[in-house]
Structure 1
């Protein structure tokens, strides 16, 4: 490396860090401006919806229960992931600001990955809440208390923050001397560590570990929890009782479907056919952007307590002073 290259790379001993990355993203996608309009609408709906859920649960004491502590945790993760991802995407591609500094890239990687893992982990916590409520209804209030749910959510936040921080730390130990072009729509871990020209085996291991912890393991735990739920439902003698118990799981099942189905579809399509880079990136952005928008809608429409509270608010406002 000669003196003229120092504008692009900062050298720290034997580690070469680019001064900036170029996010390729949706470059070259035809009619991409329509997609940006869709993303902007998705962002507005997600922010308003999740803020509404957060405020309702925070200020209505009747919702200060273990289940809604989990729902609050999910809405907070959705809000964080939406704000970490979409505004930066809009700035990058709408305003053609595709260059991002090295440190800003690592920060973007941390927050998008962290809040994304929180979504998956919180769905497991909510699955635990449902399986105890249906399989052990008489002991539910002794097993799943507000304190227990708060400690579970706190443990998940702490563990995920540590693991994602470790993931980003090992990215900082890589020398990026091949290229500074990221073939993704944000500073994604996989496309970034593959730019390294030194040994990135530990980064590859961490990527596989994160996939196992935040995709495969949550799906297995959720499937096992619902096997237990269906077994408990089979012991209920009346169809009315079964439907009443199953109805309490509808919201959670829809949340699981909205988060995991798009990701699974992308993996299956990628395995069975060759997706073009643009199609893969658009599919990935949809998988990341739509769940935070759908989750508050799902909970508002399927939760009687929240619907009744919203009706009361609008009814009070409609009364003339």
Structure 2
């Protein structure tokens, strides 16, 4: 069977696979028990997140900025589980390892979108907690419904945009070697590393996303959970270091300041020479 369909002309070695093969769970002993576990987890996730969304929607007392984020997190968890688990069970339980090229990219997009939004929702919750601790008297002013809705909307726009770029970069790759993805879903890293042509832009963008969407939010979320004493030390450092660095970063980069410093140093040097001459006389 032909795995590849030529996307461009004969003189251009650019090919896209007709489909990919997902091989992540193949060969693992007693894996069927794990599928039962996945199904159980999925059912609990659906029921739990649906219940959370329903409670927040029906109880007007819970329509606060914090629970806007909780509602969105439950929605994202529900969508993420529904995008991943049923497809995984279909692939491995019913031996549908062959997934069309376009379907694989769509699968990748929805899975990573939900995963990224889960992380950013935790950032929003950590921010809410941080403001409540540091500015308890100004919490109602700083964390409003409008602010939280705008923040969540910005997260959605950002995630969808960057993942569309990531998928777009994948469509520029040529696959002429293997089409077997050694993962349980259409893993972004597994896909672009199978490419025959240069995938460095995709690799660099992938690392950029890892830092921006996972490591920075993880650091912020972890920092928001620190004990009060350590928080005080951290806040004190952020108060001390900027005044020290600002003159170096901003003032010394100004041309007028540089010229003035040169004149002062030259004048001081001339004065020292004059004093030495007077002493020698």
Interval of TM-score (by shorter of Structure 1 and Structure 2): 0.7 to 0.9
Q: Distance in 2 between matches of 1:24 and 1:193?
A: 16
Q: Distance in 2 between matches of 1:158 and 1:233?
A: 32
- What displacement does 1:201 show? 0.3
Q: Distance in 2 between matches of 1:178 and 1:206?
A: 23
- What displacement does 1:89 show? 0.3
Q: Distance in 1 between matches of 2:146 and 2:173?
A: 41
1:138 is matched with 137
- What displacement does 1:231 show? 4.2
Q: Distance in 2 between matches of 1:231 and 1:63?
A: 32
Please list, as runs of the form range in 1=range in 2, the aligned pairs for 1:142-157 lying within 5 A after superposition.
142-157=141-156
1:190 is matched with 189
The answer to whether the aligner puts 1:206 opposite 2:201 as a matched pair is no
- What displacement does 1:56 show? 1.1
Q: Does the 8 A contact of 1:178 with 1:196 survive in 2?
A: yes
Please list, as runs of the form range in 1=range in 2, the aligned pairs for 1:1-321 lying within 5 A after superposition.
7-13=2-8, 14=12, 15-227=14-226, 230-231=228-229
Larger Rg: 2
Q: Distance in 1 between matches of 2:152 and 2:229?
A: 27
Q: Distance in 1 between matches of 2:76 and 2:229?
A: 31
List per-residue Cα deviations over 1:249-282 (Å, max 9, x = no partner).
xxxxxxxxxxxxxxxxxxxxxxxxxxxxxxxxxx
Q: Distance in 2 between matches of 1:100 and 1:52?
A: 33
1:251 is matched with none
Query: Larger RCO: Structure 1 or Structure 2 (Cα < 8 Å, ≥ 6 residues apart)?
Result: 1
With the length of structure 1 as denominator, give the TM-score of the two structures.
0.69
With the length of structure 2 as denominator, give the TM-score of the two structures.
0.78
2:241 is matched with none
The CA RMSD measured in Å over matched residues stands at: 1.5
Q: Distance in 1 between matches of 2:124 and 2:228?
A: 18
Long gaps (5+) in structure 1: 235-321
Q: Distance in 2 between matches of 1:233 and 1:191?
A: 40
List per-residue Cα deviations over 1:3-43 (Å, max 9, x = no partner).
xx7x3212122321100010011000000000000000000
Count of residue pairs brought into register by the alignment: 228
Long gaps (5+) in structure 2: 233-281
Q: Distance in 2 between matches of 1:29 and 1:12?
A: 36
- What displacement does 1:168 show? 0.7
Q: Distance in 2 between matches of 1:220 and 1:12?
A: 42
Q: Does the 8 A contact of 1:134 with 1:232 survive in 2?
A: no
